[in-house]
Amino acid sequence: MPVQETLNFTIFIKNFIEFPIFGVKHGNMVDNLRKPCTFHPKDNKDCPIFTIDYIMNEAEKNISERNLMLLHGGVIRIKLDWNCNLDRNIKLCKPKYSFARLDVPFYENPFSRGFNFRYASYWKYNEEHFRMLTKAYGLRFIISVSGKAGKFDFIQLTLNTGSLVGLFGLATFVCDIILLHLSKNARNYRDFVFEIVRLQTRNDCTINMSKKYVPRNDDEYSNSESNSDVELPFETPRNSPSALGKTAIMAPVTFVNPYQFKY
């Protein structure tokens, strides 16, 4: 038989899955399955019968690699993923099929190409024993199954909600809202929580400014010996003892010209 005709062979995958926590068992066989049928991703997704051609096209997109796999063998993984919502009818839970190639591609020139195995056959003829070792090439399919299921649980929802509220620190805020606005003793609780503070204002202390006439000598800048009175403002420091409503008195200050002395 030519190698290309093996693409028309079919594989029937029959799988059962169990979720012991919920006590549910289910399989990929449907009740209204048409016989015979062939899997198609759009027209017939419930049929568990696959052709070799479809599996190889999904696992390897390169045509030359697929032809070499038919000659030298290869390893293909078939994976079934179950994701069931047990709040709905169990018949609506159906697996998703995916295919992938596991052996090393031929264009990378691996040490061991494709997939092969050896087996021996023994026979006896004319009191002589014979043994023949055969090396066979073929396609190896590895089927893996994974699944998860969920069902609504009010107790679990309450625990998760409480953990979320405590995590974000909303427990105190929610309790205050309930006690301040929804409780019968909201007024008493409000008196303990809030404190009324009455603020009293007082006038700032004023600082008096004193003035003193001081004789001024301008001989440093002119030759005249005329003195004039200068009005000097004086501000009392805030931290001095005479700061609060008191006046400080300064003694007369005389400016002396150093050039009028002769040595």
Instruction: Quote the number of domains for the chain.
Output: 2
Average confidence (pLDDT) over 38-45: 87
Residue 11 predicted with pLDDT over 90: yes
Average confidence (pLDDT) over 150-171: 82
Q: Which domain holds residue 176?
A: 155-193
Q: What is the pLDDT of residue 36?
A: 79
- The Cα–Cα gap between 44 and 50 comes to 11
145 and 182 fall within a common domain: no
Q: Which residues contact 205 (CB under 8 A, 6 or more apart)?
A: 243, 244, 245
∠ CA 129-132-137, rounded to 5°:
165
Prior bond of 36 cis (ω within 30°): yes
41 and 16 fall within a common domain: yes
- Summarize pLDDT for 202-250 with one digit per residue, the tens: 554 444 444 444 455 544 444 444 444 444 444 445 554 444 444 444 5
- The Cα–Cα gap between 263 and 125 comes to 154
Average confidence (pLDDT) over 162-182: 78
- Which of 239, 236, 245 is closest to 206 using CA atoms? 245
| DSSP one-letter code for 103 | S
Backbone angles phi, psi at 211, to 5 degrees: -120, 145
145 and 91 fall within a common domain: yes
- The Cα–Cα gap between 56 and 103 comes to 13
Is position 172 within any domain? Answer: yes
Q: Using CB atoms within 10 A of its CB, is residue 217 exposed (0-12), middle (13-18) or buried (19+)?
A: middle
8 and 97 fall within a common domain: yes
144 and 40 fall within a common domain: yes
Average pLDDT score, the chain: 77
80 and 94 fall within a common domain: yes
Q: What is the pLDDT of residue 200?
A: 62
Q: In this structure, what token pair is assigned to residue 220? A: 């440093």
Residue 180 predicted with pLDDT over 90: no
Is position 256 within any domain? Answer: no
164 and 92 fall within a common domain: no
Is position 147 within any domain? Answer: yes
Q: In this structure, what token pair is assigned to residue 97? A: 């099929």
Q: What is the pLDDT of residue 251?
A: 52
Q: What is the pLDDT of residue 34?
A: 66
Q: Where are the alpha helices (DSSP H) in 29-170?
A: 52-59, 63-72, 154-167
Question: What CATH number is attached to the domain comprising 35?
Answer: 2.60.490.10
72 and 176 fall within a common domain: no
> Does residue 31 or residue 211 have the better pLDDT?
31
20 and 84 fall within a common domain: yes
- Summarize pLDDT for 46-56 with one digit per residue, the tens: 889 999 999 99
Is position 248 within any domain? Answer: no
Q: What is the pLDDT of residue 214?
A: 45
Identity of the highest mean pLDDT range in 32-41, 195-204, 222-231, 254-263: 32-41
Beta strand pairing call for 128-137 and 116-125 = antiparallel
Neighbours of 47 (CB within 10 A): 19
Per-residue pLDDT band for 141 (boundaries 50, 70, 90) equals: very high
Q: Which residues of 221-230 are buried (b: 16+ CB within 10 A; e: fewer)?
A: eeeeeeeeee
Beta bridge partners of 125: 128
CA dihedral 25, 26, 32, 33 (to 10 degrees): -140
Backbone dihedral region of 46: left (phi > 0), alpha (psi from -120 to 50 degrees) or beta?
alpha
Average confidence (pLDDT) over 160-188: 79
